[in-house]
Structure formats: structure tokens, C-alpha cells
Structure 1
């Protein structure tokens, strides 16, 4: 299988930016590495990953990033790109790492899956996968703010292969909770432990929202990603909720548009003369006078640097490290949650480290008269931590889990669950027990020799079916007499038979089954199928005194009575519930008229008084008879409900059908129809968002520009959109003329729009609010109205006032 690889270098990306009329990159421009892995050699492909990565990379280029884009990258390509991305040199303003593809979660540690990843042994986890923790550790070596954006959480089955070679380890294709720190913000397309819906729907909601929001200017980073998460949750109706890590404290503005003040080309003659006069002076006032005349002058930075040196205070003498009286403890403790470790027993002391949850430390003792412990950290440094942030290791849930993991036996994990049934690792313990028991079962099963057979058998009485051919084995299920199964093997040397129980091998003692062919069960089924007096008499003669004897006698008597009784009228539509013959008379011995299929609907005229036969009108002027157990009233039946659901063809109809008739014969078809509707790009997905029409827009009756029109919306209308989707994309809206559709390109979301900013400014009716609007939209649609309203609020200070060369200048509109 060939891989589609396309690595776009930073140089090539710069050329693309110039072709798109993007300004040249600054020396310290933000840097981005974008990886889109979709074409996998050994795991499930992801249809939209490449397209999503290209969209994100293009938008980042437009925003002025130095971008490196990798498509369908193998492990070596990813490692080289990551190494180059984090290499030392001129530090970028910030770094952004975007990854769309598979990942796997191993005991809470996240690994990215290259396109050539494969699993044969436990060592492959390190060699063939990329550790996210290792990537973030490299990022944290410097103070550059970092953003890690992961569009993962897709099903791929690498977790199954890893679990088989890493016994006792919890492996999942659902993302783990990332660690939090103050200079790296981690964003997941889904909440930890959940599955991404995007690839199944062929529309990546997360990538759509992220690319759209990245195009906006001057966005504070933390607030930006919080908004992305909320938008994704809203547009997916809560089915997908992104995760944004906490504790990020770096001040980063994305897509910043503020132009830097250009450095002067050289000093003016006047500035040069003044600088020559003060050069070498040790008087701070000289440089302050220079800056008063030339605040942005050629030598301004030099003047500021000299002032800083001249005004720097004498360094204070290094104090002797304080000593504290310690009540000794000297026992292991662990960190309860992310905690600051201080150089002394107070928050006034500097922070030495931030230890994550569950870090094991040695508690040296309590500082006398305080609530602070002195601890020895894993790197052998001594620090201080507040007492509510640590807990004793001995007897803790964490210790119990460590013991269970170390022993890695069913008994050890069961001991953990007995002590901590609701512990944070309870689910992992249960999963480990299941895996270990399955492993033990497979090992035990391999010790038995089974001769393959294939024969239909029947259970003769209530019987236990077991996992292994021994009465000491677990009971898989208990089956009633008369249950038919397929025998697939004979255990050599033992009186046990292997059965196929719902696709799983199971075992039963030989005396509890008989071959179905020639048995009383087969004969009874044939007698019921014929449903004649003679058939039941022959059954009783052949199997006298059988368990079906009483029922056979009752059937004979009912048939004899029916010959002398009339019919009960019905007069309504009946539906055939299974493929059956219909007969010329209410008797299975009479001539067969035709074969009817399940779902066929006929008018039911009458029913025999013994309620065994129904008279159907099968054509004009012709009637026939069917056994009553093979037809039912059409009204209210699963067949009618399915027909109505198909006719409506909506998600609501199919979901209501599944709720009303769970597990019906049409359930698979209903699931397939729901999946098709969700995957169909033309499906209008429900939303509830205000939208703005910047310029007048046509309203269509259907999401089709070639269809009839409902009307026109005027400029700057604000309406509620109740749905979005289609190709091309439309918003669904409610108008006075009914439900209509407007092109998405003719509208913008009200939230974050200029219209929202203007509405807020008008409602506030304050100078501050109007200034905020004018700052955000200096050439906005309501510029004149905003200026006039501000002037009416401050008539004594009309116009703009500023200082030019020592003169106060006021510009008044109209001057």
C-alpha cells in the first residue's frame, strides 16, 4: 500500500503566503507545525484529516505564521519535523502544533499514531508511535508559549493490538486527560474518554469552527479556544464537546493586527547634536531630557537602557537561608492535585516547582507552628508544601492501585476493588480482570482436544452451558429444554460437546442434548406446522406420553370443534408476519392457494371461533385462509410504523420508530437510515443562533438556489437561524411567510459581529462603549452614527484632541 506523502517546508509556505498577498513574515513570527494523517497502512483511514490540515495551514499562513505542513507522515518524518519545529534559534512569538489523525491512550499517556505504525511486540509503542508527553516536555524547555491542538479520538483498533502485547496495561483509542501547565495550552477535539463524531459524519465540526474562528483578528488565546469549544458543542447539538486545559497564563493575542512602529532610518541633525552632547554622561536627567524631546528617536532605546543601568539599585546582600524547627515524619506522601512547591513555609516564598497529581514525595516533617510540610521531591530537592495538598501514601487508594498493577493478577485487582469500589481506577481494575480472565480462559481452552463436528442438536431439559468442559467452569447461560443449537465439536476423552452459542464456543454435558433430526422436538414442530387432526394423532402414536402429549390432545379437540362452528367477523387490514402458505380452506390439508410474504397486507374478513385460522381476501372475488399466528392487525403494527417512518424519512421519524419497536426486524435498516441522514452533507442540522444579513439577501423556499423564492431580507436584518447545512451551505430561518433558507455566504453569525458591537454600544449609551465600538470597527457601517452619538453625550469635548510638537490640536468634524 503506497503512502501519499507531501512535506511543505517553511520556505515553500512563505512563497504560498506571498502568492496570497500576505505580508512578509517578521523575524519573530509565530511558528506552526500542522500534521494531517489520514491514509494509514495498518489502521482505519480518516477521510477528512488531509483536507482539515490543509485548511488550518492555509489560514495560519494568512495570519502570518511560519508554517510546516506534513501529510500522511510516518514515524521518522514526524520525529524529524517535531525536532526541527522545536530547535533552538530565534524564539518565535509562540508555537502552535495542530495534529489531525489517530492517537492511542496507554495508561493515561497519549501517543500519536504515524501512518506507518504497526504493532508486533511491546517495544513498538516506543519505536512506532510518538509520545505526546515527550513532545510537550521539549516544548517546555523554553519560555515560548505553546498551543497543542489535537483532532483525535477516532476508532482505529491499534489499541487492541497494543493491549495484547502489553498485559496489565489499559489501552484505549479515546484521548486521555492532558497535563496542565502555565505556558502550554492543550486543546482536544473531544472530551477525554469520548469518541470523535466528525469522520463518521464526513463533516469535521471541530476543524470547521477552528478554521473559521482563526480568521478573526486580535483574539486573546485562552478566550479564543474557549469560544471554539462552545461553538463546536452548539453546532453538534452537544454530541461533541472539545476540551481546553487549564492553568495557561501566558498573554498571547492570536492574529494580532497592530502594526509595529518602524524604527527611524537615522537621527535628525538636531537629535544627533543633542545625543553628542550627553554621550557618556552619568546624569540620568540628561537622558530623560533627550527622551522628552525625542520619545521615538533613533537613540531612544539606548537612552532607556542607560537610564535603567544608572537607576539600578545596589544588589542587596544575599540573606542566609532560614532554618526551621521540624517535627520529623519521614514517611512517603503523595500530591493530591497540581501543587506549587515553595522554597519556604509560606506563599511569600518563591516557587521551586509545580508537582502534578499523584507525585510521590518523602515527607520530612511539619514545620513547627505552621500547616506546612518540608518534603523531598523526586529530583532530591527540598521544598515546602501546604498540608492540604498532600496525603499519606500508606493505606491510600494510590498505593493499593500500585500494588495491584505490580502483581497484575485477578486476585490483586479484586482486592483493590473490595477496598476501593468507587476508586478512580475502579474501571481500569475491572477491565484488567476481564482481560486476565479471558487470557486464562484461552490458555485453559488450549489444553483440551476437540474433534470438529457439525450437527444440529436440541436441549432435552433445563441445562447449564459452561465456558469449559468441566462442572467447575463458569456458567455461560442456562437454556430451556427444546432449545436448538449447533454442535461444533466433540471433546476427546470426555463426555462433553462443544456448541456454537451466539458465535462463541461453549460446552454442555452429553446427556443433556440429543440430535434434533428424528427427535420428539422435530416431530412436534412438523405436527404444529401441519396443524391437522391426523398429524396430531400420528404424533401421539409415535411419541406416546411425551412432554407435548397434553398440548397435542388439546389441538385435536380444538380442530374437531372448529369443524362444527362458524366464524367471527373481523373486517380490517391484517399484515402477514412471516412467509407462509395460504389455503383454500381453514385446514392445512387443503389445497395451497399461494405463498405470501412478511409485510403483505390483506383485508381480514373472518376468524374461526377457535381463533386458529383467519379468512383473507387475497384478490377480487377470492379468499384464502392463513394460520392466525402468522398475521396480525396492520394498524399499530411494526410494519405500519416502519412504512410511516420510511415515508417521512427524517431522523426524528426513524429514532421514534426505534424507541417504539426496539430490536425489531427493521432495526438494522433504521440504524442505516439514521447513519445515512447524519452522513449526508445536504442534511440541515438543527442550531439556534442569531445571524446578521449584511446586505439584502434572497430567501428560498428550499435549500436550493434554483428553486422558488420566498422573499428578500433587508440590509442588516437580524434573524434566528434554526438549522444549517446543505451543499451549498444554507441557514434555515423562520419568516412571516413561513420557513425559508438563506445562503450561508449571505449571512454572518451575530455573536462577534459588528452589528452586535453596535447594538451593545447603543444599549450602553456611554462614551466608553462608543469608543470601544469605534476602536474595534474604525471604518464600520455605523461610523457616522457612533461619532454623532458620542458628540451628543459629550458636547463640551467634541472632536479629537492630540498633541503635536508641544501644541494641543483639536479636529472637529466639518473643520
Structure 2
């Protein structure tokens, strides 16, 4: 739980920069899971974040691919150092889960076979937050742990219908007002209860954006998180929106740059004791004006981007680029232009009334940019296919001309080779694994064929069922016929035996 923390603003107006206040960070990235889906990015995320924070003056306690015992030791080392810190920061990337509203971080050796496992195989976020509450002025929490977690689904199944509702998707909201925090920033990679993307590059979308902005000079952490949210929302095509809850009494800067001022004046910065009698600082008006102008420019650029980002008109994005050729959203604008121009090219190749081309490297029916992202085991696992769905995918691959054998729901080497061949034929990176967009394209591409296939399959199943029913009827009829011919339900030998027994009983009765 959080405690009350006060954010003291960093205002450095001196000829030389003073010593940095005490900053402690705990950075953990878990991806090499032993009993569930491995994640490719968390170790990279943690390493890059640790480097970035060290550059900002943090004493970093870091760990990668940690077991339960490793994590306990790492948290203990962090707790000892965090006592009395001006800023204590937690960054975690990896699998996480929520049970009954409690957020849990998952070590790489966790099995989580039942509810008992939770206390002995996971690390509670609340437990770590308690270690950050000992005379700490500013608390910062960044959790990139909202990924889809198969262990949570397994636990939910074993808990049964009455209790499985306690297992939620993603992570649960942490409400600052409940803990009395007044100097805290809490950030999730996506909204509470939602699942975040691991990303297709070396780092997740959330961590990439956070690293890109967190050390921006003279920008408050509040503004940093606004930019991070915007970047992730755009980069994920609006599928992921980071969630941030901040309770600060003023702006907090992680990279406050010194501004020239009168040499005899020094003001405390995050706990530094003033060495001279405080005086009214000599303000560098030019610097103030520049900072104000930068803020206005940023807000203006953001407003322009908000206006054009959902446009389907290439001219709107080009207009943004003319005004901000090196703007924050320039890359996204260029990508949107490419996407719209590609759509236009497809439309010209497939005019209205003609069938879309397939197998030519042009994904005509799905202009989704995600189709260009290579598929991985993680992207395919996120689709949540059961055996029936996998059989359908295999059938569709067969219908697209890539024979993967009899649809049995098992994705072996032959199926993977068929997926890769289909991807190559359609101009997609041939990894042998699907993304959501690629599966959607395959579904659209084989819609007509699969409808006919499904109808034929249903006809055969109905015919087989009718045949079995007729055979069962014939068997029943034969059995009844035999029973009738044998004098009811008794065969001749049985009748003779019963007759002898009855005759003996009657004879004996007469003799007496």
C-alpha cells in the first residue's frame, strides 16, 4: 500500500548543479518462464530501463528472469536502500495477474497449480509498495505486466465456476485515494482489466515509449506520461491505452536542467539543504519565455495531430508533416500515408465488382498495418485457439492451396510449413505463426471455399448420423424378431429347462 508522500519540486538556479537527491529504483524483467508462455521482451525492457534510470541518477537494483527466491532477495535489497529516498521507483515487465483485485507478479519458476500456490509462488505488488513507503517522498510505479497469462486461465479453471470470477484479466486498478498517497505516480501498460501487447520488436510498446520520453529535459513526469500514452495508443492502432493515476502537489522532474542565475543564490532541490539565506532568485526571463513557448508549441502540435490522426485523407497527414517535419508524430503520419496510398493502389487493382486478388503479395481485403508484423508463438497464443479453431485454420490452409494434411487441431511441422508457405505467397514474413491480422486475412481469403467446405462437411456428418441411426434401427428390429420367433424373450433351451423344473414341482406336490 502507498503512504502519504510529498513531491518537492526541483528548482535548480545555480551556476553549478548540486548533488542529486537520493533516487532508488527496482527494475525486474521476467520472460524466460519455465511453465507457461515465454515472453521475448521483458529482459530487454528491464535492461534498457535500468540503463536509462542510472543515467538519471538512480541507484538501480535490477534483476532479469528471476525465480521466486531471486525476486524476494532483490526486493529485500531494494527495500533496504529505499528507506528515506526522495524518489523510489518500481519498474516490472513480465507476466502478472490479479486475484480478487490484488495484483501479483509472476516469477519464472511459478506453476500456480491451485490457490495455495499464490502465496508461495508469486510476489504481491502491495508487498513491494510497502517497501517503498518508509519515509519516501515520491513513489513511481510502472507495471508492464498486463500481458495475457495462461497461468491465470489455468487457475480459473481449477477454482471452479463459483470462485473463478476472482481471477481477472490484466491487472487491477490501484486507487491512490485509498492509500492516502499524495506524491505518487502509478502507470500500467494498459487500462486496468485489459491485456497489453508484448510487441514485435525488442521492446514492448509501453516500455519503448517510456524510455523514449522519461529523460526529456525539463519535462515533468505528468507530461512524460501524457506523451507515453499518446505514443502507445497510436502505435498499437488504438488497441492499447496506458492507464496513469498521479497524485502530486506539483510538477516532478526527473531530468531538470540548470538555468543560469545570480551566483549567490541557491535553492533546495528535492531535499538539499540551502547553504545560504534564501533570496528571491534572479530569473532568466529568456529561459522562462523559451520554456513557455516550447509548451505552447507542443500543445499546438498535439492539437493538430488529434485533428488529423483519424483521417482517411493523405493530404491531412501531409499537411501535418509540412508544419512539423520532425514532430513527435511524424513517423506515425508517414506510416498512415503509406497505408492509405497502399489502399488506393489495391482499390485500383481491384475495382468495384471484381474479385480481390489473392496470392499475389497484395493483401487486398485487409488494409490493417498489423499484417506486416511478423507472427510469433506469442502472437498466435494470444488468439486463444482451441482444438476446434485450429482444425478450422488447417482446413482453410488446405483450401488456400497449402496442404497441411487432415485437419486434426495439432500444429506440427507440416502445418507450420503450410503457414509459412501461405505467408510467403501473400507477401508476409514467413515465420510459420499467425498474428490476428493474418488470421483475419486468411479467413476473408477463404470465405467462399470454407462455406462450401463446411456445408459439405455438415452434409457428410448428417449422412453418417443417419446411417448410424438406420443401422441401430435395423439391429433393434432384428433383436425383436429373434425374440418373437423364440417364444418371447426365452430361448428353446431355457424353455425346456424351466418346463422340467415346473413339472418336477407339480409331480412332487401330487405325490404328497
- Relative to the length of structure 1, the TM-score reads 0.32
More helix by share: 2
- Relative to the length of structure 2, the TM-score reads 0.49
More strand by share: 1
Bigger relative contact order, structure 1 or 2 (CA pairs below 8 A, ≥6 apart): 2
From the CA coordinates, give the structure whose radius of gyration is larger. 1
